Amino acid sequence: MRHVATLAGVGIKTVSRVMNEEAGVSEATRTKVLEASRQLNYQLDVTAGSLRRAGRRTLSVGLLLPSVSNPFSGEINRALEDALSARGIAVFAASLDDDPQREQSIIAAFLGRRVDGLVLTPIAKNQSYTIPEHSRDLPMVFIDREPVGVDADAVVTDNAIGAAKAAAHLLAHGHTKIAYLGDRTDIQTARERKRGFLEEIGRAGIPSSSVPIRENLHDEETARQAAIELLTSENPPTAIFSSQNLVTFGTMRALKELGKNREVALVGFDDFTLADMMDPGVTVIAQHPDRIGVRTAERLLARIDGDQEPPRTYVVPSELIQRGSGEIRPPA
């Protein structure tokens, strides 16, 4: 920057003004500076500037995801990127893998980079989210989980309502024996989905004690086994609601293996690629990770910009997508 100033024959502060597009520079000097910086291939150093910038803004935020390779996370990452890059904010993403220790060190690493904000997406099992005391005033938005011990915004899917929609849909198609296949009970969203599902079943006058429930299914294989057990029991369900993608996949496998994929109805929570290409197409309660990401970005930016409203939780509605599997009727 000094070099540019010298070459342009102006003070260093003028160069700073031009590079930051601040007002109060005559068009003539602006041109001079721009020309000089072009000649020298000069590029403003964002990080160096952060050292003195008001509020020490680094123009970067940290994003904690289950894994950057997970499709749901990817969508959120992308939506966030789009919203934040428009403001010149870059995002550091990191994968948690449900490992509390990893979580700690990632948060520490992000704090060490003085990020302007944090987005936390603990969709899976992880319980901790121990934000260091001293960074409680860092702008933060939680996704899919109500923050505990921190005052912060959250953006969540209407898990209970979505699950209730699934139940209502199956009930409307004549099912009365609908099984619930769920994720680990220590996951808040899983509990919400179960609650919504059972409440809707209850509203239909069906005692929840008669609902086949299998929980703590954490991967395709355990889900598949649970589904097979259910489906081969003496009084098998005529429909299944699966609370999460991997559980849905496992259930699909079980149905196919047993040749029941066209007999037993299935509604899964969470959409996935090629769901419409399955046999039959899989009816799902779709979340909208893109909208979640957009809303998250909006809240994070508001907080970064000094919004002092009391934190609240924003709900992004889910959507029932009919593709065939959820419209199968029970045998007469």
DSSP 3: H
Give the DSSP per-residue string, 35-52.
Answer: HHHHHTT----HHHHHTT
Name the strands in the sheet holding 283-286, side by side, starting at the edge strand that comes first in the sequence: 213-214, 178-181, 239-242, 265-269, 283-286, 319-321
Contact between 15 and 33 (Cβ < 8 Å):
yes
Q: Which two structure tokens, joined as six digits, stand for 139?
A: 């702008």
Q: Which of 7, 40, 44, 321 binds DNA (CB under 7 A)?
A: 44
Q: Which helix (H) or strand (E) holds 168?
A: helix 159-172
Q: How far is the CB of 42 from its own copies (least distance, A)?
A: 9
> What residues numbered 34-73 form the site for its own copies, per CB under 8 A?
41, 43-48, 50-51, 58, 60, 67-71, 73
Contact between 258 and 232 (Cβ < 8 Å):
yes
Q: Which of 85, 208, 232, 233 binds its own copies (CB under 8 A)?
A: 85
Tracing tokens 């005692």 back to the chain, one arrives at 207
Q: How far is the CB of 44 from DNA (least distance, A)?
A: 5
**In this complex, which beta carbon is closest to its own copies, that of residue 109 or of residue 172?**
109
Q: Rule CB under 7 A: is residue 247 a binding residue for DNA?
A: no
Q: Rule CB under 7 A: is residue 76 a binding residue for DNA?
A: no
**In this complex, which beta carbon is closest to its own copies, that of residue 43 or of residue 235?**
43
Q: How far is the CB of 264 from its own copies (least distance, A)?
A: 16
**In this complex, which beta carbon is closest to its own copies, that of residue 131 or of residue 211?**
131
Beta bridge partners of 268: 242, 284
The interface mask with DNA, positions 21-40, x = CB under 7 A, is: --xxxx-xxx----------
179-208 core/surface letters (b: 16 or more CB in 10 A; e: else): bbbbbeeebbbbbbbbebbbebbeeeebee
> What residues numbered 261-320 form the site for its own copies, per CB under 8 A?
272-274, 277-279
Q: How far is the CB of 115 from DNA (least distance, A)?
A: 15
Residues contributing to the site for its own copies (CB under 8 A): 41, 43-48, 50-51, 58, 60, 67-71, 73-75, 77-78, 81-82, 85, 88, 90-95, 108-109, 111-114, 132-134, 249, 252-253, 256, 272-274, 277-279
